[in-house]
Amino acid sequence: MPSRKTVKDYIRTIVDFPHEGIMFRDVTTLFADPRGFRMCVDQLLHPFAGEEIDKVVGLEARGFIIGGAIAHQLSVGFVPIRKKGKLPGATISEEYQLEYGEAVMEVHDDAIEAGEKVLVVDDLLATGGTAEAGIRLIERLGGQIIGCSFIVDLPELGGRTKLEALGMDVQVLCEFEGA
């Protein structure tokens, strides 16, 4: 009897992308497979079964794909948190540190109402900078974060520890060693 595939089995690794020394964890192969994608969405939702969720927030860009699918599954609204300059209309922004430099994330200033319960999703948790910026934006709008779900964690980079230190419930489907 063949062994049952896990989410991790659907993710391919591309060596030296985007530059030498990086092991890029490509979730597009997971998204392209209907069984793998369905398994991913179901497993990201499972830890929060029975929780009241008003909005799903997806972090740019692959977080939009899984966030939209999860929001649809829950019949709730979806909110994108994007890189600076990508959203029309009034926004609030949050700077965060990259390995070399800074970046800025933005959300519409009316995307989340005070007291709404929010699930944050993204494909990959590395240093946690993008997720932390997203969390701060949600909190500034008055949203209550019930948890953060990621497909992949790179534990050596410390993102999970950073988010848990902020009091977040962090769920991941699989881990890969290395950067």
Which active-site residues does the annotation give?
A: 62, 99
User: Using CA atoms, how far apart are residues 29 and 48, in angstroms rounded to an integer?
Assistant: 25
User: Using CA atoms, how far apart are residues 111 and 89, in angstroms rounded to an integer?
Assistant: 11
Q: Are strands 101-108 and 91-98 parallel, antiparallel or unpaired?
A: antiparallel
Q: Please tell me the total number of residues recorded for the chain in this structure.
A: 179
Assess contact for 58 and 67: CB atoms under 8 A: yes
